[in-house]
Structure 1
């Protein structure tokens, strides 16, 4: 990146910081000692998930990629529900950030929000900074980080294969992709729901909402306007190619 462009980017970021609400403090102040959160998702589960997502990112077939991503979501959801069922201790909410790469950061933030919603987290987008702040249980935050990164790679690959080349088309494509992924991940999560965990998840949801309201008082939701219906439809179709709930043997109970 030329030096002049780099300087302009820093100036833009400083200007954004001056006009945007402060980001929530996610790190301790200097000199303050706090416990470092440990990894919540079991290593063996995370290894299986990463293997599924690696296959999804490498395959040239959209159907296979979406099916593998759905299996990963279902596996992580089952793990989260099982953890909640056996560990109903005090519920806490944490926060984390995901930084997005230009271009089309608004559409990319919508994809992160779709994954967050499917995994019981809340998301706030800072468009001028290009980051999403997530609020949720540590396990769920870890799931969102892993899955949204993989789906972002897959969405970018699908976009490269799309016929449209205008900015409006490509932005609408990614928005449509995120919209459809939201629906499909919700179905995968519903399939994995463990009734034993519902009381714990209800308490966890309450804590997450309280933390979210504390960090972001008076937050407003802004509706996105789609200026290219063709790109929107193509994005939905790209996310809709695969069966996100592949047939698999079921065990009663």
Structure 2
């Protein structure tokens, strides 16, 4: 049994042409007794991915990007089988596993096609590079040491999630603006509350990290939007364009806020872009790609100013002694004591990001070329703006 598997893997996994895949698939298809061992080997490839810094959502994202939905179903089955080995999993993994696509059934009637699909997936998994870990791998000593107690979502985050869901669902721009503005105020207030609690209790909490997918098309504009959301919520973002994700570094409440707000703003921006594009087409325009690119670039840039302005306003009010009254907050700080607390957290986030990413490069962004797209994108950002009117911050 094992010699057949070894022959199939040698032919298929270390070559880049289809001939090797066909040879390996033929060998496996002709030997049903090898099926169980083939899947065990696949689980080992997934386990290797954990040691290289990858997480379940990362694997699903890269497989979808490089293969197809049938391969996504195959990797989902491998992830499910591999993760049951552990008595507990790292933070954030439960949420990722809950959103896995439906796993593929094993050993389909067309054995050759199934074996070919498996080997193509294994070739991809085997070639995954090492990436910066956004947390400990399951089953490691670091995972056991840093495993936090299980807890449910806070009432504040539940309220924020509900506000953003309403903002995404309404057909009235003014209502969406009011709902999203309120959500950002709650996020900023929640972050301040957590910072004050940590300072008062001398908590030894440290910054963590999460990865958020940045998918094509128009991934550059989306990455800029995510960077703006991260900056406004006291986090730092590093984009990996080749792997299709951004790693966000920050304290846990701020990471949760970034995930929620970015997802919502992307939904709102896409809906506004589709509506504006329909109006352009009705007027006889056909340059869809340049319109969308310019729209999203303007949307991201303007929101960067609005988000930063809103956070600064809430922080200034809290530092002046109004923290207990802002957005339903419960913590309050003596006037002038909040900024040093936030400065210390900023230093901690910066040091963590620099340690995780000692070498980063700046990407030159191609300028927007469609004036109508830029104008409509700016207007959409204004409708989704965070906070009250105030001076913009150039980025």
CA distance in 1, matches of 2:121, 2:236: 28
Alignment of 1:197 with 2:338, yes or no, is yes
What is the deviation of 1:128? 2.0
Q: Select 1:181's aligned residue among 278, 303, 314.
A: 303
Change (3 A) 1:5 1:50: closer
Change (3 A) 1:79 1:39: farther
* Residue in structure 2 matched with residue 225 of structure 1 by the alignment: 366
Change (3 A) 1:242 1:142: closer
What is the deviation of 1:115? 0.6
- Contact 2:134 2:211 (C-alpha < 8 Å) held by counterparts: no
The structure whose RCO (Cα within 8 Å, separation 6+) is larger is: 1
Q: How does 1:9-158 map to 2 (within 5 A)?
A: 17=128, 22-28=131-137, 30-32=139-141, 33-37=144-148, 43-88=154-199, 89=202, 90-158=204-272
What is the deviation of 1:106? 1.7
Change (3 A) 1:243 1:184: closer
CA RMSD of aligned residues (A): 3.1
Alignment of 1:236 with 2:378, yes or no, is yes
- Contact 2:311 2:387 (C-alpha < 8 Å) held by counterparts: no
- Show CA shifts across 1:93-127 (max 9, x none): 11110113332222111111111000110001111
What is the deviation of 1:86? 2.9
What is the deviation of 1:187? 1.5
State the secondary structure of the residue aligned to 1:203.
helix
- Show CA shifts across 1:160-198 (max 9, x none): 112255212212211110111111111211121122321
The structure with the largest alpha-carbon Rg is 2
State the secondary structure of the residue aligned to 1:34.
helix
What is the deviation of 1:228? 1.8
The count of corresponding residues between Structure 1 and Structure 2 is: 243
Give the stretch that moved more between structures: 138-147 or 195-204.
Answer: 195-204
TM-score by length of 1: 0.83
Structure 1: 4+ residue segments shifted above 4 A: 13-18, 37-42
- Contact 2:233 2:258 (C-alpha < 8 Å) held by counterparts: yes
What is the deviation of 1:153? 0.9
* Residue in structure 1 matched with residue 95 of structure 2 by the alignment: none
More helix by share: 2
State the secondary structure of the residue aligned to 1:98.
strand
**Unmatched segments (≥5 aa) in structure 2:** 1-65, 72-119, 281-286, 320-336, 390-395
Give the stretch that moved more between structures: 196-205 or 34-43.
Answer: 34-43
CA distance in 2, matches of 1:138, 1:101: 24
- Contact 2:176 2:383 (C-alpha < 8 Å) held by counterparts: no
- Contact 1:77 1:192 (C-alpha < 8 Å) held by counterparts: yes
**Unmatched segments (≥5 aa) in structure 1:** 248-253
